[in-house]
Amino acid sequence: MLIAVSVLLVSSCTSKKEKMNKDLKAFIAHHDSVIIPLYKQAAIAAWDASISGKPEDYQKSEDLNMKMMAFYADKESLKKLEVIKVSGLISDSLLSRELDVLYRSFIMAKADTAKLNKMIRMQSAIEQKYSNFRTEVRGKKLSDNDVEDVLRTSKDIIYQKEVWEAQKKIGPLVADDLKKLVKVRNEVAHDLGFRNYHEMSLTLGDQDPRDVGKLFEELDSLTKKAFAEAKGEIDDYFVKYYNLKSKDELKPWNYQNRFFQQAPKIFAVDLDKYYENKDLPAIVKAYYSGIGLPVDEIMKNSDLYEKPGKNQHAFCSDIDKLGDVRVLCNVKPNSYWMGTLLHEFGHSTYDRYKDFTLPFLLRDPAHTFTTEAIAMMFGRFSSNPQWLKDMAGISEEEKTKIAENCYKTLRLDQLVFSRWAQVMYHFEKSMYENPDQDLNQLWWDQVEKYQLLKRPEGRNEPDWATKIHIATVPCYYHNYLMGELLASQLYYYIVTNVLKSADFRSQSFANNKAVGEYLKARVYMPANRYYWNDMIEKATGEKLTAKYYAKQFVK
């Protein structure tokens, strides 16, 4: 009798397991039949809008995003997924991973559809304002490139101030709408059971907010002293550069970019001169081909130069998760855009060389910060003397001459960026915790604390709203800094285990196809089949750690 009961229980359990697997496969098949074509249409619409800047193109992009949002807001679908998930009967690793991705996507169904639609409409309208805004000074309109050129090269501090303040005029144009958007995002988060949108974004992004908080505390501790020393050097340099009497006269517009998110040029090396009159895209194409990751087809489909109405920033777009990958840039022949091109085409290689036989749901990077890591690792080469010799044609003598200052420049850039990332992380976290607080004050409190910049006397403007990421890529900036950590971890692993070298400064990876083979096999091809930290451990032998970043740039 006991044997018969046991057989019956096993049979019942097997039958239940088969049903759950069958139900999940059917759910995925329906999902893919709807989302795959819609995803491509939405990606193309967003691409077109970013180039044209036309209201009708933004409207089309918004409408398609709403369709996708509506699909994922279906409450009956969420109930079906919850039954499957709670059963615990999905044992196949790929199916289980797909279930995890699906559940985090459909959990938005707990939110009010009207709020979700409102959120999309508001963000689209704000994004359009950023795209069409141009700084105007002394009767002349300036692009973001023009603004950066003035701040980077001009010694006329009065004109610098005018340009800096004029660029900040986008803030009042979007601030009120952005505050309203923050509150709507929080309402959506509350519907899903989260305290605020920041907590929701990290959690649904497969990250524990507490772990991210601890990581930022660790990085603050690691970089605080080194940055304070570096900031002292920067200030000493600029007092002489601008012929000032003391450091107290230095203002935020004197640090060579809008947000002090990149290191100013204080060391005796002019990287821009190595890229003057150079075909930067051609260099990028040759480089990636040389390491076994050709980007020729990607470049053909990309849009790389300035146009009226075009988005003034840079990004990579995976149009169909089957190889149609595109890059948007606004290239000028200087070191900034050389680094940006290497960065964005680094993203593109991750998207282009994934395993396309994987299910659609898993044809993404393991995490957004893992693709940032690849982009950052390659982007760093724009200031690498060996890379400049290999790809930009400088001499061995010139390489040796600039080597130390190039390293100092890269180290300073990392320290400056790490502190800027702290500003963004802490500002957004606090803003979503209490959007009714004085955000103008909060912004400058973070800037003073982490970047050691003094707020302009008497200024009370929504300068926080001038950073487009707060509107269009919310609660994301911490991923850039996590990407920098992984970039160092991957770099050290490649140098040690692929190149079999102990020289961690003089590597460019140029013309070494083993680098591309490693990245394809261990990072790109797995795509999102593993939890991100498991992928990192499989690729480097360790989970994500800050020790290689500290080794490379702090100690």
pLDDT at 8: 45
CA proximity to 161, closest of 56, 250, 71, 237? 250
Residues in the chain: 555
Extract the runs of DSSP E, i.e. beta strands, from 84-214: 135-137, 140-142
pLDDT at 313: 86
CA 78 distance to own-chain centroid: 29
Long-range contacts, stretch 84-92, CB < 8 angstroms, 24+ apart: 84/20, 84/23, 84/24, 84/27, 87/16, 87/20, 89/16, 89/17, 89/20, 89/21, 90/20, 90/21, 90/24, 91/17, 92/21
pLDDT at 15: 86
pLDDT at 13: 67
Give the model confidence (pLDDT) of 268-291 as tens digits: 899 999 999 999 999 999 999 999
The residues near 19 (Cβ < 8 Å, ≥ 6 apart) are none
Block residue for tokens 């009497």 = 245
Task: List phi, psi (to 5°) of 168.
Answer: -75, -5
The residues near 109 (Cβ < 8 Å, ≥ 6 apart) are 72, 73, 74, 75, 77, 78
pLDDT at 506: 87
Contact indicator for 453, 416 with CB cutoff of 8 Å = no
CA proximity to 185, closest of 120, 105, 126? 120
The ranges of the chain with pLDDT < 70 are 1-13
Angle, helices 368-379 vs 478-493, to 10°: value is 60
Give 2's Cβ-side CA count (13 Å radius).
Answer: 0
Contact indicator for 85, 99 with CB cutoff of 8 Å = yes
CA–CA gap between residue 235 and residue 408 (Å, rounded) = 16
Q: What are the helix (H) ranges across 53-112?
A: 55-72, 75-87, 93-106
pLDDT at 268: 87
Could you give the 3-state DSSP secondary structure of residue 158? helix
The residues near 408 (Cβ < 8 Å, ≥ 6 apart) are 267
CA–CA gap between residue 207 and residue 448 (Å, rounded) = 28
CA–CA gap between residue 280 and residue 75 (Å, rounded) = 49
Contact indicator for 197, 184 with CB cutoff of 8 Å = no
pLDDT at 9: 45
pLDDT at 11: 56
Cα-Cα-Cα-Cα dihedral sign, residues 530, 354, 34, 64: positive
CA proximity to 362, closest of 117, 87, 17, 92? 92
CA proximity to 206, closest of 365, 34, 435, 23? 365
First to last CA, the chain: 71
pLDDT at 312: 85
